[in-house]
């Protein structure tokens, strides 16, 4: 999903900030999920140990990804499934539509999956003349609203209950509901016959088990399970990073995922299935393994760890930018730090340059990640990618001046003093374009210029202490 | 930033260290740790700055900085900028001797009580880079809690001040909104001062408080510990 807006990120943020009702609602939701997470982690005897174990499992998986994928696909195919290898998104789309066309599919039910969105499933189905039906509640809502996701796990989290009811009524053709239960009943009633009549199910995956050939889904609604077992044809689209060595890893991974995602206990619906299960045996079950830049990410130390992700959404909820800017402003599948670190390449160049800088690098995301992804490193790497650097003439000039001066102490002392005196002298025109630090001064005062620099103080006094400069009240 | 804008922080830090019986030297060849380049994604230039800085500090027994951001840059980020096994080993021998002021006192000298006196109620602004600077979160709080006359207020919602280097200039509204939230929390807490272990947090918070015309003063940890 590309950016749906041509507005600058700062502009979108401004709109979000004036929308105090959604700001409050978001803060409330974040506070609630923080409480749930605390409760979730409290269930562990040693939460730190669980996170370390989950991180170690994912890290080991990535180191042997090629071997594990070979094992998994052999076992999945032995059980009657078909595995396709897609080097990029376009290949994956082609494979998906080819499989569906061969199966004669008209109506396709799909589950919530960042990988399905990544390869552009909706557009591909439409282009192939098929009817793709979103079966995840949140996905239906944002599809009706025509908006990007506002959260990696809960894409419609930005809407009020009333707004969701209105969307379902006005655009979804449902009766006007009042309670969440009424809404989910209405959608369930509408989807039940669609599930039963669908020609194919298209879903993502949470984990692929290399030692057994099983596919694992963890979801809150159970719609993925229905997509998987009801239609004649099933296509699973999964990133190559989803493979994990063994079924023995599942208890740790699923428990960690649930706690980090803020589920009170385990994720409500967990399905583990292989093509030779009685309920699906004899069906056409295809699995498309998508690379689409993952091997490249794995090759660089700063970004390799991002492939450990188990999709809990904790990094977004911890992010102060996410809290203020809201999810939709990012225009990403995974709005927040993870999206900033991994999805920039899909955006238009001007937006890429903006979003690359849209984080204070506070590291709150790294701190909460249950599998210890260093998102801080990945965010810096995203900035360092060609064409992602600073935008704006003023910033470029400031950076060039800094880089010129920093290589030599005489230059540095001279350049920094000139800069300091210049911005102080120009403070009287602070709200005009003549102010070189206008972006700073718009909302903040400048510090006072000291009588002498530390450098000069040291030279003049040799480090002899003047009276304590802090005045007591 | 300390050199040009807030020399009193450096002076106070030197004062405290000398009071504890250490010899402080300052090599005026030094410029900047390179974080502005690093945070702007200019890793090649940042690596060149890193090599230059490492050369200057190679002979120091301990390198102490009053900025968590500089300490994190040198201890943590230099490691990813320097390449080649031998160079990495050499760099590590220097960077492991880099400490942020509070981290140096608590974890290297094992000193929490420095004999400071300070009358007042303070809010604590721990720089986010404390997560990466080698110190432990809470070092500053421990030091402040041992200062005679000082009372720490608890804030329900303390977090990032929103500075973020180039971020503060590229997203002034977002950055200052984060600063507004942070200063709101300080103002609600009835603190007379806020104390930070990083000049960058002070730059941002003083700037915001200045525009809001609030009398709550921002001080650096070193300024508080230097006061007698």
A444 vs B: CB within 8 A: yes
Q: Which residues pair with A244 in a beta bridge?
A: A209
> How large is the average pLDDT for residues A201-208?
98
pLDDT at A160 over 60: yes
Q: Which of B118, B165, B173, B200 to mutate to test the interface with A (most CBs of A within 10 A)?
A: B173
Contact flag B42-A321 (C-beta cutoff 8 Å):
no
| Contacts with A, B 83-122, CB within 8 Å | 118-120
B53 vs A: CB within 8 A: no
Cα separation, B167 vs B163, whole angstroms: 7
Residue of A nearest to B167 (CA): A360
Residue of B nearest to A31 (CA): B157
Cβ count near B147 (within 10 Å) = 24
Chain B residues whose CB is inside 8 A of the A352 CB are: none
Of B34, B38, B131, the CB nearest to A367: B131
**Parallel/antiparallel/unpaired status of strands A243-244 and A269-273:** unpaired
| Contacts with B, A 308-327, CB within 8 Å | 320-321, 324-325
Chain B residues whose CB is inside 8 A of the A463 CB are: 14, 18, 24, 26
Contact between A352 and A345 (Cβ < 8 Å):
yes
Contact flag B7-A454 (C-beta cutoff 8 Å):
yes
Cα separation, A112 vs B138, whole angstroms: 41
Contact flag A445-B211 (C-beta cutoff 8 Å):
yes
Contact flag A380-B39 (C-beta cutoff 8 Å):
yes
Residues of chain A above pLDDT 70, percent: 96
Å from A55 to nearest chain B CA? Answer: 18
DSSP one-letter string for A244-311 = ES-GGGHHHHHHHHHHHHT-SSS-SEEEEE-TTSTTTTTSEEEEEEE-TTHHHHHHSHHHHGGGG---
How far is CA B149 from each of CA A321, A431, B21, B87, B152, rounded to the nearest angstrom? 37, 42, 24, 48, 10
Cα separation, A369 vs B203, whole angstroms: 29
Contact flag B31-A408 (C-beta cutoff 8 Å):
yes
- How is residue A295 annotated by DSSP? H
Torsion of CA B91, B96, B101, B103, to 10 degrees: 150
Burial of A146 (0-12, 13-18, 19+ CB in 10 A): exposed
pLDDT at B217 over 50: yes
Give the residue carrying structure tokens 């104390």: B195
Contact between B209 and B184 (Cβ < 8 Å):
no
> B161-207: per-residue pLDDT in tens?
999 999 999 899 999 999 999 999 999 998 999 999 999 999 999 99
> How large is the average pLDDT for residues A441-446?
91
Radius of gyration of chain A (CA): 26
How far is CA A263 from each of CA A42, A257, A318, A371, rounded to the nearest angstrom? 12, 9, 16, 17
Give the residue carrying structure tokens 């603190």: B191
What is the predicted pLDDT for the residue at A471? 45
Cβ count near A380 (within 10 Å) = 23
**Parallel/antiparallel/unpaired status of strands A269-273 and A215-219:** antiparallel
Q: Quick check: helix, strand or coil at residue A131?
A: strand
pLDDT at A3 over 60: no
Contact between A116 and A202 (Cβ < 8 Å):
yes
Cα separation, B209 vs A216, whole angstroms: 52
Average pLDDT, chain B: 94
What is the predicted pLDDT for the residue at A465? 59
Q: Give CA angle at B85 (B82, B90), nearest 5°.
A: 70
Q: Which of B5, B47, B217, B221 to mutate to test the interface with A (most CBs of A within 10 A)?
A: B5
Cα separation, B228 vs B147, whole angstroms: 10
Return the biggest CA–CA distance within chain B.
53
> A4-30: per-residue pLDDT in tens?
456 788 888 888 888 888 889 999 999
Give the residue carrying structure tokens 């789309």: A93
Q: Which of A303, A458, A461 to mutate to test the interface with B (most CBs of B within 10 A)?
A: A458
Chain A residues whose CB is inside 8 A of the B178 CB are: 320-321, 324, 360
What is the predicted pLDDT for the residue at A17? 83
Contact flag B168-A360 (C-beta cutoff 8 Å):
yes
Residue of B nearest to A318 (CA): B159
Of B132, B159, B208, the CB nearest to A320: B159
Contact flag A14-B173 (C-beta cutoff 8 Å):
yes
The size of the A-B interface in CB pairs under 8 A is 221
B176 vs A: CB within 8 A: yes
What is the predicted pLDDT for the residue at A158? 92
Q: Which residues pair with A237 in a beta bridge?
A: A288
Question: Which stretch of A65-79, A459-473, B51-65 has the lowest confidence by average pLDDT?
Answer: A459-473
What is the predicted pLDDT for the residue at A5? 52
Chain B residues whose CB is inside 8 A of the A301 CB are: 80
Chain B residues whose CB is inside 8 A of the A362 CB are: 128, 159-160, 164
Contact flag A443-B208 (C-beta cutoff 8 Å):
yes
Cα separation, A388 vs A348, whole angstroms: 11
pTM for the predicted model, two decimal places: 0.93
Backbone angles phi, psi at B40, to 5 degrees: -95, 5
E strands, chain B, are 63-65, 98-100, 117-125, 148-152, 193-196, 217-220
Question: Which stretch of A27-36, A106-115, A234-243, A248-257 has the lowest confidence by average pLDDT?
Answer: A27-36
pLDDT at A56 over 80: yes
Average pLDDT, chain A: 92
Q: Give the containing element (helix H, strand E) for A65.
A: helix A65-78
> B31-85: per-residue pLDDT in tens?
999 999 999 999 999 999 999 999 999 999 999 999 999 999 999 999 989 988 8
Of B6, B7, B28, the CB nearest to A452: B7
> How large is the average pLDDT for residues A425-444?
86
Backbone angles phi, psi at A59, to 5 degrees: -65, -45
How far is CA A107 from each of CA A91, A112, A201, rounded to the nearest angstrom? 22, 17, 9
B138 vs A: CB within 8 A: no
Binning pLDDT at 50, 70 and 90, where does residue A472 land?
very low
What is the predicted pLDDT for the residue at A188? 95
């Amino acid at each position: 999903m590309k950016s749906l807006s041509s507005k600058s990120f700062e502009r979108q943020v401004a709109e979000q900030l004036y929308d105090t009702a959604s700001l409050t609602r978001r803060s409330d939701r974040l506070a609630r999920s923080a409480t749930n997470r605390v409760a979730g982690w409290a269930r562990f005897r040693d939460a730190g140990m669980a996170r370390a174990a989950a991180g170690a499992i994912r890290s080991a998986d990535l180191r042997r990804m090629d071997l594990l994928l070979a094992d998994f696909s052999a076992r999945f195919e032995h059980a009657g499934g078909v595995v396709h290898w897609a080097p990029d998104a376009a290949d994956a789309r082609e494979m998906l539509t080819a499989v569906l066309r061969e199966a004669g599919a008209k109506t396709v039910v799909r589950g919530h999956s960042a990988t399905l969105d990544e390869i552009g499933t909706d557009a591909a189905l439409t282009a192939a003349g098929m009817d793709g039906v979103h079966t995840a509640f949140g996905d239906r809502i944002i599809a009706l609203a025509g908006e990007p996701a506002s959260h990696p796990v809960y894409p419609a989290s930005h809407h009020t209950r009333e707004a969701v009811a209105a969307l379902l009524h006005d655009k979804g053709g449902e009766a006007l509901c009042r309670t969440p239960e009424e809404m989910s009943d209405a959608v369930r009633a509408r989807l039940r016959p669609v599930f039963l009549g669908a020609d194919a199910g298209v879903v993502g995956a949470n984990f692929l088990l290399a030692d057994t050939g099983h596919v694992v889904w963890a979801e809150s609604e159970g719609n993925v399970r229905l997509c998987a077992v009801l239609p004649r044809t099933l296509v699973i689209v999964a990133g190559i990073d989803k493979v994990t060595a063994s079924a023995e890893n599942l208890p740790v991974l699923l428990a960690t995922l649930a706690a980090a995602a803020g589920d009170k206990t385990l994720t409500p619906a967990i399905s583990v299935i292989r093509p030779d299960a009685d309920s699906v045996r004899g069906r056409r079950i295809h699995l498309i393994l998508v690379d689409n830049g993952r091997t490249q990410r794995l090759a660089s130390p700063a970004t390799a760890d991002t492939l450990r992700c188990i999709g809990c959404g904790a990094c977004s909820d911890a992010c102060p930018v996410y809290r203020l800017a809201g999810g939709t402003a990012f225009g990403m599948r995974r709005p927040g730090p993870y999206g900033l670190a991994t999805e920039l390449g899909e955006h238009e160049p001007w937006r890429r340059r903006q979003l690359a800088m849209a984080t204070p690098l506070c590291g709150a995301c790294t701190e909460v990640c249950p599998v210890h992804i260093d998102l801080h490193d990945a965010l810096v790497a995203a900035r360092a990618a060609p064409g992602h650097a600073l935008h704006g003439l003023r910033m470029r000039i400031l950076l060039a001046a800094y880089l010129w001066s920093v290589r030599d102490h005489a230059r540095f002392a001279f350049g920094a003093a000139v800069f300091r005196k210049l911005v102080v002298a120009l403070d009287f025109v602070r709200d005009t374009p003549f102010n070189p630090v206008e972006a700073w001064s718009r909302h903040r005062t400048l510090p006072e210029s000291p009588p002498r620099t530390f450098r000069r103080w040291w030279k003049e006094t040799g480090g002899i202490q003047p009276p304590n400069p802090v005045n007591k009240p | 930033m300390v050199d040009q804008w807030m020399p009193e922080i450096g002076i106070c830090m030197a004062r405290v260290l000398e009071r504890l019986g250490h010899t402080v030297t300052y090599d005026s060849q030094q410029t900047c740790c390179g974080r502005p380049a690093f945070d702007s994604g200019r890793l090649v230039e940042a690596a060149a700055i890193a090599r230059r800085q490492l050369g200057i500090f190679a002979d120091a027994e301990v390198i102490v900085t009053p900025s968590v951001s500089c300490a994190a840059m040198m201890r943590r980020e230099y490691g990813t900028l320097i390449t080649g096994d031998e160079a990495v080993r050499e760099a590590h021998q220097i960077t492991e001797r880099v400490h942020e002021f509070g981290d140096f006192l608590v974890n290297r000298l094992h000193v929490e009580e420095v004999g400071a006196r300070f009358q007042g109620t303070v809010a604590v602004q721990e720089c986010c880079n404390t997560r990466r600077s080698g110190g432990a979160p809470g070092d500053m709080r421990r030091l402040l809690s041992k200062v005679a006359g000082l009372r720490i207020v608890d804030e329900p919602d303390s977090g990032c001040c929103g500075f973020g280097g180039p971020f503060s200039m590229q997203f002034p509204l977002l950055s200052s909104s984060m600063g507004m939230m942070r200063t709101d929390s300080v103002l609600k807490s009835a603190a007379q001062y806020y104390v930070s272990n990083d000049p960058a947090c002070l730059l941002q918070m003083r700037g915001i408080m200045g525009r809001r015309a609030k009398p709550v003063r921002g001080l650096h940890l070193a300024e508080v510990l230097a006061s007698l």
